[in-house]
Structure 1
């Protein structure tokens, strides 16, 4: 038995919903980010070296959200087909981490851009990175037709880069609130 509501399993069981949910939520978050990235507050900050053009974020995040959504679908399939209580528990924990990281992921934009709190956003992305890393390890050990690691490795790499960018904005703009 899982501590997650059954509806979250049902979303992940449907590959279109599993992929569509994070993409849809990411698009909604992207609209807020797009507006905020044009604000005077953001434009006047010094970006860290290697900061990509803002047009890169939408396509990259769309692909990453789709990949993470499909990994959740593979995970719920592993949950449904698990033959041992340990396999069920592992998949359940991975799905709990999946939904937790999705919440942390979607909280970053309001923290960084909405409240203009670069430091709190950095704490959030560090927690997100730890959650995603743990989730990836748990999903990697599941019996799935494709290794979820292939779907989550780009996300882990991008989060490392995004964490660097967030830290760079904190460090280079300590004097700007």
Structure 2
């Protein structure tokens, strides 16, 4: 199952358009998780204590673990998140905070090193930027989590940039990237 994590707040999102091209190229069925339609909340003292106690008991039956289970069981993961303020929307960070569950998405070996438990072999990070794109605090962060903590060996960055810079034609840039994906492949 492909899990499409939609972190695009605007209905007419350019990032979403790019993600739809990736999903079309990959083919097959997918499950969409629209983060803005979910009741995601940052962990607070009460939920963190509850989660810690359940993990220590090895009890993952609580619904608070559903997002982590869905993420861990996906075959392929696509995250669509616009480039906001040199990163991604805070909603994506809240989602990551909710899925990072020891015993579901990762564990630790006897030397304390993380071992990923996720089934996915590939993760695609799709983004658009109004100006030049710097992946350091968005894709770079997701790539590090995927490879070092979740056990997802391949990550791919799919992007369109310079979309709001005077003198650049945003629609031409978008169409070029979408056509490249559809005709030549995602990368």
Q: Same-fold call, TM > 0.5? A: no
TM-score, normalization by structure 2: 0.30
Write 1 or 2 for the structure with the bigger share of strand.
2
Write 1 or 2 for the structure with the bigger share of helix.
1
